[in-house]
Amino acid sequence: MKLITIYLPEPYIKALDKLVDERYYPHRAEAIRAAIRDLINLELRRKSHGEASR
């Protein structure tokens, strides 16, 4: 894996921490990886169905 640095608004960080606190994810990084994976899958499905992305 590669390390990247991102800047997030405070509300996003608080929401990530809530997910971790509620044990949906073991840590922030895993929650972010899951979100990025889901976004990529969604966009690829749209692309394969000929839908324009934003």
> Into how many domains does the chain fold?
1
- Angle subtended by helix axes 28-48 and 10-21, to nearest 10: 110
- pLDDT at position 34 is 97
Cα–Cα dist 8/48, whole Å:
30
pTM check: above 0.75: yes
Number of helices (H) and strands (E) in the chain: give both, helices first. Answer: 2, 0
Count the Cβ atoms, other than its own, within 10 Å of residue 16: 20
Q: Is residue 28 part of a domain?
A: yes
- pLDDT at position 52 is 59
Q: Is residue 54 part of a domain?
A: no
Cα–Cα dist 47/41, whole Å:
10
Q: Is residue 16 part of a domain?
A: yes
- pLDDT at position 50 is 80
Q: Is residue 4 part of a domain?
A: no
Cα–Cα dist 6/32, whole Å:
11
Task: Provide the residue range defining the domain that includes 42.
Answer: 10-48
Q: Is residue 5 part of a domain?
A: no
| Segment 1-54, tens digit of pLDDT | 999 999 999 999 999 999 999 999 999 999 999 999 999 999 999 989 886 555
